[in-house]
Amino acid sequence: MSIAIHYYALNENWSGEFLGKEEKVRDYPSTWIILDNQKIKSNIISYKGNKVLAYNIDKDGGLSGFAGYSTTGIKIDVVEYRVVSEPGDLISAKIHPSRLLQDIVQCWIIYSTVNGNLDFHSSFKK
């Protein structure tokens, strides 16, 4: 599932020139996505972040992929996947078991702009 802010109601009023000086200050809408117990498909989602949210729930109901900006994580139903204590940009994806070497049980790709410890293992277990 992906969620993004769209500017469909923004009147651009663009003159067509490039590299011209902006004559007036525009009042752009907020780019923050704030979901507070929002029902999306069959799940209840809580999330606060900027610009875009993307997540994937596996067949067992666990989080198998996530991307968010200026966020600490996401809450899906009653499970909170809080990875960091301070907001930052986060991307994680679970590697499919068919791609893993023998005896490797689980593997994730993780990216974060937050310095410090990631509470990944306790957060992403179902």
- pLDDT-derived band of residue 98, with 50, 70 and 90 as boundaries? very high
Q: Which two tokens stand for residue 88?
A: 């930052």
Write the CA distances from 37 to 16, 32, 57, 73, 76, integer angstroms: 42, 16, 17, 14, 9
pTM of full prediction above 0.75: yes
Return all residues near 67 (Cβ < 8 A) that are at least 6 apart.
Answer: 52, 53, 54, 55, 90, 91, 92
| CA pseudo-torsion sign 105, 46, 87, 28 | positive
Residue 55, judged by CB atoms within 10 A of its CB (0-12, 13-18, 19+), counts as buried
pLDDT above 80 (res 35): yes
- pLDDT value for 125: 46
Q: Is the pLDDT of residue 126 over 90?
A: no
Given pLDDT bands bounded at 50, 70 and 90, which one contains residue 43? very high
pLDDT at 58 (0 to 100): 86
Mean pLDDT, residues 60-88 taken together: 91
Mean pLDDT estimate for the chain: 84
Domain boundaries, the chain: 2-124
Position 84 pLDDT exceeds 70? yes
Contact 88, 113 (CB under 8 A): yes
Q: Are 48 and 30 in contact (CB under 8 A)?
A: no
Q: What average pLDDT does this structure show over 109-124?
A: 73
pLDDT of 26 > 80? The answer is no
